[in-house]
Amino acid sequence: MNSLSYCKKYAKINTSKKIRAVKYSCAQAGKYLASKAPYGYVRNDDKNHTPNVDEDAAQIVRQIFERRAKGESCRTGRETEKNLPVCVWKTK
């Protein structure tokens, strides 16, 4: 193995360890690590970037959970309720 490939390999391993260490320390500090908030939440601009409830989207999420609790499938919900966004009713 020549020295150039060894240096590249070491740099890759070292960078990976640094990234993991930073993510771990941010998690220990209580910071929200995801780049985007889940549907129904908005990312706050505070120091920890904690997600806050988006009331407009939260109503849709509540409707979905109520329908699933009643036993309806996502497909019937999408067909009966045309004003719900398609991104909410993703199917496999």
**3-state percent breakdown (helix, strand, coil) of the chain, nearest 5:** 60, 5, 35
Torsion of CA 8, 11, 17, 22, to 10 degrees: -130
Q: What is the DSSP letter of 86?
A: G
Q: Which residue has the higher pLDDT, 18 or 5?
A: 18
Residue with tokens 């109503």: 59
- DSSP states of 16-35 as a string? HHHHHHHHHHHHHTT----S
Query: Residues 6-64: pLDDT tens digits?
Result: 677 778 888 888 999 999 998 898 888 888 888 888 888 888 888 889 888 888 888 88
